[in-house]
Amino acid sequence: MNVLTLFARNLLRGPVTDPYPFGPTVTQKRFRGRIEFDAASCEGCKLCERVCPSGAIKFSKDPNGLAFDCWHATCVFCGTCAFYCPTGSIRQTNDWSLAHVAADKYRMVEHGLIPNQTCVECGATTLDTAPMQSGVKPPLTAEDVATLRPLCPKCRAKFMKNRKAKK
């Protein structure tokens, strides 16, 4: 376009500058931002830790259960963890406002805890994870999920074998 028509257009239309930080701004819905973790729906499969390219996600054994930590200062916001998560308990929000002073560097962590529980059948200490649902045919009903949840992995396997034998 001719530079003079460009000038005229810019002068007549006014500035197109986004008002941030002096006013509100628009963020796209699918923008890949900060990670959010929901411990209640996590299966404990640790796929996210395996596929994370920068090693930002770390699971660690805590006296109270399984701790989830995602350090945002090394996360590259690729979304691979959310892509591979079978239950969608780790997901990306569209929050980009992570700028912080250097003293807060190690506090930019998304922390979660899958608590310990006692198995109602055998009494072993186990994690309160969601039951694994991928590849189960026919799919688990809500009652199956409610029955499986308070069981330890050995008892869950027994239940699933019985369920397959019944069908």
Partner 1 sequence: MSTQTALLISVLLFPGGLFALAFGLALKGADRRFAARLQGRVGPPLAQPLFDLVKLGFKRTMVPLTATNDTIFLAVPLVGLAAMLHAAAMIPIAGVTATSPALGNLLVLVYLLAIPGVVLMVAGSVSGSTYGAIGFSREMALMLAYEGPIVLVVAAVALRTGMAEGQVVTFSLAEIVRHQQVHGANLFDPVLWPAFLAFVFFYPANLGIVPFDIPEAETEVLEGPLVEYSGPALGLFKMMSAVKAVVVLGLGLALFFPVAPSGPLGLVVWAVEMLVLMLLGVTAVRVGIGRMRIDQAFAFFLKWPLLAAVASLAVVVVA
Partner 2 sequence: MNILTNLKTIASRSPWLYRINAGSCNGCDVELATTALIPRWDVERLGCQYCGSPRHADIVLITGPLTRHVRDAALRLYEEIPDPKVTVAVGVCPISGGIFRESYATCAPIDQYFPVDVNIPGCPPRPQAILDGVAKAIAIWRERL
Contacting positions for partner 2 (CB under 8 A): 15-18, 20-22, 25, 27, 31, 53-55, 71-78, 96-102, 104-105, 108
Contact 152, 122 (CB under 8 A): yes
CB of 37 to partner 2, least distance (A): 17
Q: CA of 156: how far to CAs of 33, 70, 163, in Å?
A: 36, 29, 10
CB of 23 to partner 1, least distance (A): 11
Residue 3 binds partner 1, judged by CB under 8 A: yes
Nearer to partner 2, 68 or 71 (CB): 71
Radius of gyration (Cα) for the chain, nearest Å?
23
Nearer to partner 1, 17 or 141 (CB): 17
Q: How far apart are CA 94 and CA 112, in angstroms?
A: 19
132: number of Cβ within 10 Å? 17
Nearer to partner 1, 10 or 93 (CB): 10
For partner 1, the binding residues in 4-43 under the rule CB under 8 A are 4, 7, 10-11, 13, 15-17
Return the closest-CA partner of residue 80 out of 48, 40, 37: 48
Which residues of this chain interact with partner 1, rule CB under 8 A?
Answer: 3-4, 7, 10-11, 13, 15-17
